[in-house]
A and B are shown apart, each in its own frame.
Chain A
Amino acid sequence: MTAPRTVTAAASPGPGPGPGPARRGWRAPSVIPGFGPTLGITLGYLGLVVLIPLAALVWRSTELGAAAFWDLARDPRTLAALRTSFGAALIAAGVNAVFGALVAWVLVRYRFAGRRLLDAVVDLPFALPTAVAGIALAALYGPQGWLGKPLAALGIQVAYAPAGIVVALVFVGLPFVVRTLQPVIAEIDREWEEAAASLGARRAQTVRRVIAPSLLPAWATGFALALARGVGEYGSVIFIAGNLPHVSEIAPLLIVIKLEEFNYPAATAVGVMMLSISFALLLVINLLQAWNRRRLTDAR
Chain B
Amino acid sequence: MDVRIDHVRKEFGRFAALDDTSLTIHDGELVALLGPSGSGKTTLLRVLAGLERPSAGRILFGDQDAASLSVQERNIGFVFQHYALFKHMTVLDNVAFGLSVCPARRRPPRAEIAARARRLLALVQIDGLDRRYPDQLSGGQRQRVALARALATDPRVLLLDEPFGALDARVRKDLRHWLRGFHDRTGHTTVFVTHDQDEALELADRVVVMNAGRVEQVADPDTLYDRPASPFVFAFIGDSSSLPATVRAGRLWVAGRALGPVPAADGPVRLFFRPHHARLADTGALVGRVVASRRQGDRRRLDVALRPDAPSDAPSDAPPDAPSDAAGPPHSADLPRPGDAPAASTPVEIDVATDAAPPVGASIRFDITRPSLFPAPAAPRRPIVVAPRPGTALAPPGPKPDRAHAAG
Contacts and interface: CB of A to CB of B under 8 A. Distances in A.
Contact of A194 (B84, B97, B153): B84
Interface string A183-200: 000000101101111111
Interface string B74-110: 1111101010101111000000011001100000000
Contacts of B98: 199-201
A143 to B, nearest CB: 49
B interface majority secondary structure = loop
B131 A202 contact: no
A213 interface: yes
Given A192-B84, A200-B72, A299-B131, 13 more contacts: A189-B82, A191-B80, A194-B78, A194-B80, A195-B149, A196-B97, A198-B72, A198-B76, A198-B150, A201-B98, A202-B72, A209-B97, A214-B88
Contact of A299 (B78, B101, B132, B150): B132
B84 A199 contact: no
Nearest to A195: B84
A199 B49 CA distance: 11
Task: Give the interface size bracket for B toward A.
Answer: 20 to 34
B80, B82, B84, B131, most chain A CB atoms within 10 A: B84
B123 interface: no
A210 interface: yes
A201 B107 CA distance: 12
B294 to A, nearest CB: 34
A199 B98 CA distance: 5
12 contacts: A191-B80, A194-B51, A198-B50, A198-B77, A199-B97, A199-B153, A201-B72, A201-B98, A201-B101, A213-B89, A296-B133, A299-B131
Interface string B44-86: 0000011100000000000000000001101111101010101
A214 B77 CA distance: 23
B91 to A, nearest CB: 11
Nearest to A206: B101
Contact of A192 (B75, B86, B131, B132): B86
A295 to B, nearest CB: 9
Contact of A195 (B74, B75, B80, B88): B80
Contacts of B76: 198
B346 interface: no
Contacts of A194: 51, 71, 78, 80, 84
B338 to A, nearest CB: 35
Nearest to B71: A197
A200 B131 contact: no
Contacts of A144: none
Nearest to A210: B86
A209 B49 contact: no
A200 B102 contact: yes
Interface of B: 49-51, 71-72, 74-78, 80, 82, 84, 86-89, 97-98, 101-102, 131-133, 135-136, 149-150, 152-153
A191 B87 CA distance: 12
Interface residues of A, number: 21
A297 interface: yes
A76 to B, nearest CB: 46
A191 B153 CA distance: 18
Contacts of B102: 200
Nearest to A194: B51
A300 interface: yes
A194 B133 CA distance: 20
A214 B87 contact: yes
Nearest to A216: B88
A60 B128 CA distance: 59
With most chain A CB atoms within 10 A of its CB, the pick from B71, B72, B98 is B72
Contacts of A297: 133, 135-136
A296 B150 CA distance: 22
Contacts of B75: 200
Contacts of A299: 131-133, 136
Contact of A199 (B87, B88, B101, B135): B101
A197 B135 CA distance: 22
A189 B101 contact: no
Contacts of B87: 214, 296
Interface in A6-56: none
